[in-house]
Structure 1
Amino acid sequence: MIAFLEAGLNSLAIHHIGNKLRNERFVLSDEPVALQDQLLSQLLMQYFLSGFDKVNEIFRLYHPSGDLNLNEVYHFASAIFDEPESFQENSKQLAKHLYESQNHPKIKPGELYIAYFEQVQVDGELHNAIGIFKSETKETYLKVFPQKDGFGLSYEQDAIDIRKLDKGCLIFNTEKEEGYKVAVIDNTNRGQDAVYWKDEFLKLRVRNDNYNQTTNVLGVYKNFVTEKLDDEFEMSKADKIDLLNRSMKYFKEKDSFDTEEFGQEVIGNEQGIASFLNYKKGYEDEFETPIPDSFDISDAAVKKQSRVYKSVLKLDKNFHIYIHGNKELIEKGFDDGKGMNYYKVFFKEEN
């Protein structure tokens, strides 16, 4: 979805951001970084961009009021796109906004990089992009060097591993009226201190494209089967796994999703179909995320969701049965003599 074969790094500003709640300060630079060294530019491109080639989910900037201009990142990014000569000054404003957005004492200080890229590819189209990156994790590196009697050894502290980007986002100069296309990475924080990057600083919402539509339907259906069905139907775990397997088969074999077709082929029960549609409608209303009745299926989203679709039937602590196909080949029963449940499994060959 995102590629950099034709990309170039045009401008770069570096600022330092401390933690406001720990009374740490920020330091702003007045001049952009000189980029005459070609090797340095290549290393920076690798550091900033290499992690985005695996990013499929695209967001957009927004503001709760509905006025995009009140989103600070949107405002300053738009100013840079409109007047590239204002890059350094607006990079300072982005740094100040990040400093004010930090709302947790555990947020680490670090360097903030604001970059202006040309010709970055997203969804098959080339666009200029603004990159915002923060480095929080520092490493110590050993350096070996030749000397008179052989080799010497030294080290460098507080260095940056260019293979590990802590936080980053790319704002593509397209779909401005909708809040731009935005790709985001956050590899350091998973708890309450993490929300500031996406929620407080950037203020992001998921862009309702086919990747997210595919993800949403698979997620809603999985929750429907695992959490809702027991309220209305009496079903075994094997039957639930079968329903999940059938839905994943549908998404892997089809090029597009159709709500009516999905209901008939996967659920196959009018009462169950109606229950699923009601559950889906509840999700759309609660999260203000409409899911269209038909859309093109994203293979990347299916691949990601297949990892969390469980097809394992766990029996006490003794057995796990992996169910991948025809549920008619497994039967559940109860043994009165042992007072225990059992499953009978039919197969042709033992591998």
Structure 2
Amino acid sequence: MLIGESRVERLVVHRVGNQARGEALQLSERASEVDDGVSSLILSGYLRGVVSDKKKHQFFHESDLNLNEIYHYTRQFFRGELDFLALSQRIAKHLYARSQHPNISAGDLFVILFAGLSDGDRELRALGVFKSEVRDDFLSVVEAGAVFDIRHASGINPRLIDKGALILENGPLVYAVDRGGQQAKFWLDDFLKAMRVPDASSSSRMVASVVEQLSEEIADPLEQARFKDEFLAVCETEEEMSAGQVSSIAEKFVGKEQVSQAFDNAAEAYGFALDDEARLPAQSMAKRLEKSLSKYGIGHGISVLLPSGITLKNIQSINDGEGEMTLTLKLHKRD
């Protein structure tokens, strides 16, 4: 997404409280005046702060995408069926209705119409929706004749986004960020109803976390070593592997339900799910897992870290009956 020629066309600010705490929703009755200084701060702070491939999401709904409120309202606006002020008020009302959890803070909601963005082929408009929950303290210097005084001021830092979304006019794609993370997932899950769009990097990180989790759940050290060897063998001989291949390998060592649960846990943590055919960069995953897959539990609460390319083939344990024990490890160098 190219934003170098972007500009602020219109802006409305509403104040959204927490309905569960009895706080009010205050709707503005007109758009705000935006001068060059404000526009520059919004473009360099809010817009640049939300446009990133790592923040790319897609609107969804369990039955029909058009039932997703934010997607529906913004489509109406881009089709010319809803004016900008009415759109911003509907978005604010929807956010207020979803602000039910006691941990959700009140804040100022900015709804901004951007123009001049580009996907490389054509110019695009986009709607920015940003909620500012934290006010920063500032010191300002006031000049009065030959005297300079210090004054305290409180305001919004546009370079520190609490919650934000940039909704493009040409489809269900939305860039979204929530600085509250796991504590306030309502912004993504309830308000926007948006799921992260997986890329090669995030997909490989997710599956790598699944492999690490399943490896730790294999109690037998030699079975754990076999699992790691089989997984790494695929990574070293193929450029790509599928999520289904990872599942098939793992199911030889742990139950199918255990594998399914590990993928479900990862999907919850990463904000997206992968189907069995999803292609993953095999060598990238092997490199990411190099250190964790080199660690082997050998029983008795003991783990060893083996050099890269060395695998565990056998363990012999001898207890002398006097409180001492000898462990003999048979190692093998991978081809």
* TM score, norm. by length of structure 2: 0.74
Partner-residue secondary structure (3-state), 1:98: helix
Q: Match for 1:325 among 287, 308, 313?
A: 308
CA drift of 1:132 comes to 1.0
Residues 134-145 of structure 1: pairs in structure 2 closer than 5 A: 134-145=131-142
In 2, are the aligned partners of 1:71 and 1:203 still within 8 Å (CA)? yes
Q: Distance in 1 between matches of 2:51 and 2:291?
A: 22
Aligned to 1:43: 41
Aligned to 2:20: 21
Residues 217-256 of structure 1: pairs in structure 2 closer than 5 A: 217-227=207-217, 229-230=218-219, 234-235=220-221, 239=225, 246=232, 250=235, 256=240
More displaced stretch, 281-290 vs 5-14: 281-290
Q: Distance in 2 between matches of 1:343 and 1:6?
A: 67
In 1, are the aligned partners of 2:221 and 2:296 still within 8 Å (CA)? no
In 2, are the aligned partners of 1:244 and 1:309 still within 8 Å (CA)? no
* Structure 2: gaps of 5 or more residues: none
**Structure 1 pair 245–273 and aligned structure 2 pair: CA distance change class (3 A):** closer
Residues 148-227 of structure 1: pairs in structure 2 closer than 5 A: 151-157=148-154, 159-174=155-170, 176=171, 180-188=172-180, 190-191=182-183, 194-207=184-197, 210=200, 213-227=203-217
**Structure 1 pair 51–21 and aligned structure 2 pair: CA distance change class (3 A):** same
Tell me if 1:293 matches 2:271.
no
Alignment deviations for residues 29-56 of structure 1 (CA, whole Å, 9 cap, x no partner)? 1222223x22221101122123334552
Please tell me the residue identity of whatever aligns with 2:308: G
Aligned to 1:107: 104
**Structure 1 pair 79–53 and aligned structure 2 pair: CA distance change class (3 A):** closer
Q: Distance in 2 between matches of 1:331 and 1:126?
A: 63
* Structure 1: gaps of 5 or more residues: 347-351
Aligned to 1:349: none
Aligned to 1:339: 324
In 2, are the aligned partners of 1:57 and 1:211 still within 8 Å (CA)? no
In 1, are the aligned partners of 2:235 and 2:285 still within 8 Å (CA)? no
More displaced stretch, 91-100 vs 7-16: 7-16
**Structure 1 pair 226–163 and aligned structure 2 pair: CA distance change class (3 A):** same
Partner-residue secondary structure (3-state), 1:15: strand
Partner-residue secondary structure (3-state), 1:56: helix
In 2, are the aligned partners of 1:221 and 1:276 still within 8 Å (CA)? no
Q: Distance in 1 between matches of 2:99 and 2:81?
A: 27
CA drift of 1:120 comes to 3.6
Please tell me the residue identity of whatever aligns with 1:220: V
Partner-residue secondary structure (3-state), 2:186: helix
CA drift of 1:310 comes to 7.7
Partner-residue secondary structure (3-state), 2:109: strand
Q: Distance in 1 between matches of 2:230 and 2:303?
A: 17
Q: Distance in 2 between matches of 1:307 and 1:22?
A: 49
Tell me if 1:94 matches 2:91.
yes
Alignment deviations for residues 103-161 of structure 1 (CA, whole Å, 9 cap, x no partner)? 2122111100111223445699864322111000111111234555564211102x112
**Structure 1 pair 279–21 and aligned structure 2 pair: CA distance change class (3 A):** closer
More displaced stretch, 214-223 vs 25-34: 214-223
Please tell me the residue identity of whatever aligns with 2:50: F
Aligned residues: 322
Tell me if 1:282 matches 2:280.
no
Q: Distance in 2 between matches of 1:246 and 1:89?
A: 56
Q: Match for 2:59 among 41, 54, 61?
A: 61
Tell me if 1:5 matches 2:1.
no
Alignment deviations for residues 238-260 of structure 1 (CA, whole Å, 9 cap, x no partner)? 8489669948x949x97643569
Q: Distance in 2 between matches of 1:130 and 1:14?
A: 13
* TM score, norm. by length of structure 1: 0.71
Please tell me the residue identity of whatever aligns with 2:137: T
CA drift of 1:189 comes to 5.2
Q: Distance in 2 between matches of 1:85 and 1:73?
A: 13
Partner-residue secondary structure (3-state), 2:83: helix
**Structure 1 pair 307–50 and aligned structure 2 pair: CA distance change class (3 A):** farther
Partner-residue secondary structure (3-state), 2:54: coil
